[in-house]
């Protein structure tokens, strides 16, 4: 899913990108921003960093009772794409539901349905310029449901198989989404962004990508993008719900490592750029 821009938000987006993404900016180092700020973080949130660099934030919230929300944020979106990769961040988001090392293709949806989640309202994902976010809203906070949700997030973070046959199927889904959103309103918003961000990479990297790339990009190129961007230092796991924070933190720390060590190289694609706004 591509997150839609609200009408009139193009100016705000252009300002936010201009401030947050200066030319030559480096990927964030492991750790939390408050470590370099005089602002006090919310004491209700427990922040942590795993040994591999992945961050996590935990907060107990008993409303609604017995439920938990999980979010996996990957600090990589369409701005990380090269010219030949435009659209792969979005395609990769879709492929997270099409099989991993420990979850066969299409089984992820069935697993979540057995836990009471509906695909769409409770299970979803979105791709933006600077991030890709995977969302699970669990209807129960029992041990089995929480461990299942964490396991699936772990699979997404580093164990996707990216099978060529599944990719062929998913191309059609992504292309259908591209056609569906190609409305006069979207074209007007796109034109606004191109005007306000003229000369900036963001104006050339709309998350929906290029139709030709979506149609023809080989699975190996997608794997290269996955290896280069789904790294522990770009991953943040957020858990909010009706659970014991001590127990949740222990479960997160006990997850079998799935993501690769921090590296700026992809799977066979050579060195990858770390600047988010330098044009290629």
List, by residue number, the catalytic residues.
Answer: 93
Residue 246 has, within 13 A of its CA and on its CB side, a CA count of 0
- In Å, what is the CA distance from 99 to each residue of 44, 105, 110, 140, 237? 35, 4, 12, 24, 20
As a whole number of angstroms, the distance between CA 228 and CA 249 comes to: 27
Cross-strand partners of 71: 135, 238
The runs of H, that is alpha helices, within the chain are 10-20, 88-95, 107-114, 143-158, 164-181, 184-196, 211-216, 219-229, 245-254
With left for phi above 0 and alpha for psi between -120 and 50, is residue 25 left, alpha or beta? beta
Whole-angstrom distance, CA of residue 4 vs CA of residue 52 = 33
Spatial distance between the Cα atoms of 192 and 273, rounded to a whole number of angstroms: 27
Distance from C-alpha of 30 to C-alpha of 7, rounded to nearest angstrom: 35
Q: Which residues contact 22 (CB under 8 A, 6 or more apart)?
A: 277
Contact 124, 1 (CB under 8 A): yes
């Amino acid at each position: 899913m591509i997150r839609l821009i609200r009408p009139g938000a193009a100016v705000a987006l252009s300002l936010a990108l201009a401030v947050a993404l200066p030319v030559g900016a480096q990927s964030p180092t492991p750790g939390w921003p408050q470590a370099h700020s005089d602002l006090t973080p919310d004491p209700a949130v427990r922040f942590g960093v795993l040994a591999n660099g992945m961050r996590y934030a935990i907060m107990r919230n008993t409303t609604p009772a017995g439920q938990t929300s999980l979010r996996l944020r990957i600090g990589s979106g369409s701005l990380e794409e090269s010219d030949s990769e435009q659209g792969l961040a979005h395609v990769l988001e879709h492929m997270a539901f099409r099989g991993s090392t420990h979850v066969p293709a299409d089984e992820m949806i069935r697993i979540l349905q057995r836990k009471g989640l509906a695909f769409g309202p409770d299970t979803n994902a979105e791709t933006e310029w600077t991030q890709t976010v995977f969302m699970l809203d669990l209807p129960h906070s029992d041990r089995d449901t929480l461990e299942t949700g964490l396991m699936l997030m772990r699979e997404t973070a580093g164990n996707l198989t990216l099978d060529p046959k599944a990719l062929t199927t998913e191309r059609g889904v992504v292309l259908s989404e591209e056609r569906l959103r190609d409305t006069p309103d979207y074209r007007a918003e796109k034109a606004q962004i191109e005007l306000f961000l003229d000369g900036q990479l963001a104006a050339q990297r709309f998350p929906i990508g290029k139709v030709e790339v979506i149609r023809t990009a080989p699975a190996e190129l997608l794997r290269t993008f996955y290896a280069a961007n789904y790294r522990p230092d770009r991953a943040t796991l957020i858990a909010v719900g009706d659970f014991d924070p001590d127990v949740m933190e222990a479960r997160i720390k006990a997850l079998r490592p799935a993501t690769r060590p921090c590296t700026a190289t992809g799977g066979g694609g050579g060195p990858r750029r770390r600047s988010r706004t330098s044009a290629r």
